Amino acid sequence: MHAPENRIATSVLVIGTGGAGLRAAIELAERGVDVLAVGKRPKADAHTSLAAGGINAALATMDPEDSWQQHAADTLKESYLLANPETVRIITEGAAQGIEDLQRYGMPFAREQDGRISQRFFGAHTFRRTAFAGDYTGLEIQRTLINRAAQLGVPILDSVYITRILVRDNAVFGAYGFDLSDGRRYVIHADAVILAAGGHTRIWRRTSSRRDENTGDAFRLAVLAGCRIRDPELVQFHPSGLIAPENAAGTLVSEAARGEGGILRNQLGERFMARYDPERMELSTRDRVSLAAYTEIKEGRGTPDGGVWLDVSHLPRETIMKRLPRVYQTLLELQMLDITKEPIEIAPTAHYSMGGVWVRPEDHGTGVDGLYAIGEAASGLHGANRLGGNSLIELLVFGRIVGQAAAAYSAGLEAQRRSAEALDAARAEVDALLAADGPENVRALQRALRDIMTEYAGVVRDEDGLRKGLSELDAVEARIADVGVHPDIAGFQDLAHAFDLKSAALAARATIETALERRETRGCHNRSDYPELDPALQVNLVWSGPGSVQREAIAPIPAEIAALMREVSTVGKLVE
């Protein structure tokens, strides 16, 4: 007799309750389609709520000459030609509608005196096109979406961990999971499934993700369901993560701090961006600022704790309080540091998965019928460098489109075919882990994995290091077979951590194997043994399981967009 199971049926299941998942659920509910959203952490605390700087749309409220075409050109240029031009067109052209939807739901955007939505500059945009709400933009968006979902009566299960997406004959029929508090199992039957479970940046030691998020869950769920992963090696390291205190290492200092005039200095007091991007200085792109900081630290010009200084203390106190309230508050709380008087010690930190599940540009279908992926779980928009502010608009545009696509798919199904075998396999996997009583500690293995990724697949990589990383990963994977899982009175977190670990190991392998294959330096991907950009590698790398990496050609950029792109310079792309 197996453990008690809650059986639920819905037309569309959304996995993940961050901005992408909620926007898709709202679209479905507004269309009268039966939808259920599940998340492994409380919806009010989804990762989206940490996004500080803003959300991009060529509204032209500040710079009348801005256009979606220019936004598309900037995005493609900054992607180092690895973004999918059709994905980019859909998002940049649909961005204004995304902002309008948010306003309709009650989002409190910052405005100019005459009521226009205020927009500010964000690194590497041609014009001011980043709308914001203080430096709490993501938090406000998440709150706005939660309120709208509540108005529509969208059912949300807050503490359910999905372990498998259920598939029969390449068509999805639901998902399997368990409740984090009491361990009760869930069998959720659904016509369509939307995967919005985030990225994999938590597999590095210093990261802007919190403890139990972005461990590569979406990657593992997708691969086990028959999907492929595109460009997992393309990970954005944010230039400004805090170093201390240890338990908050990687907490971000918003890029707004540089946008408002913050200055970067090394331990010698030099304003080092002059060496790497003399024109844009601190307003350069994330990959350049991260590489610059990494290089300064590596060459011995960093702070004693291995960082660099970010200084806003020369700005008027009023500017700091009005434009950077969250940065001010965070530093006071974490370090008792007053940023109006003292500089902040920062270092590059793993921040955003620019690759993700392979999806079609038009509807983010994965190639498995009825299974879609959106948000940081998906790929196609960012290529080798993401423009700040683009990820939040992506959630809104594709949340809407995929909600529509899933609704249409569900309506068109003549019957749902299920598979007892698929369900048994999902059930057996949870049973086996619960019975696991090996000597290995899940947390210790997670740490070992993060050390491998930080050591061998961080800001700068090379063949030897990546190969070492793979062999150390083999050893960690072998040890995963011997973990002990011990749920206790406080709940089933230990079981969740064991699944997180399995996901992290898969994501790490995908990342290292594609990083080995990309023998060039392009955007966020720095290979010290291949310091040049290789035109032959202007392809996406698609990973479909251990040892399987295929190159996929990218569609040409439309002439009208290409005409607006400026030359991608490789200046300042120093590697060790």
Degrees to nearest 5, angle at CA 181 with 176 and 186: 20
CA atoms within 13 A on the CB side of 562: 6
364 annotated active-site: no
Q: Do residues 429 and 463 touch, judged by C-beta distance below 8 A?
A: no
* Residue among 58, 567, 75, 132 at smallest CA distance from 354: 75
Token reading at 303: 């702070």
Element (H, E) at 436: none
Residues contacting 142, CB < 8 A, separation 6+: 18, 19, 22, 43, 44, 46, 48, 49
Q: Could you confirm whether 200 is annotated as catalytic?
A: no
Q: Which residues contact 519 (CB under 8 A, 6 or more apart)?
A: 463, 527, 529, 530, 534, 537
Contacts of 304 (CB under 8 A, 6+ apart): 267
Rounded (to 5) percent helix, strand, coil in the chain: 40, 20, 40
Q: Which of 258, 364, 427, 518 is catalytic?
A: 258
β-partners of residue 488 are 491
**Identity at 13, one-letter amino acid code:** L
List 238, 286, 525, 527, catalytic entry: 238
Give the DSSP letter string of 60-113: -SS-TT--HHHHHHHHHHHTTT-S-HHHHHHHHHHHHHHHHHHHHTT----B-T
Calpha distance 512→527 (Å, rounded)? 12
Active-site residue numbers? 238, 258
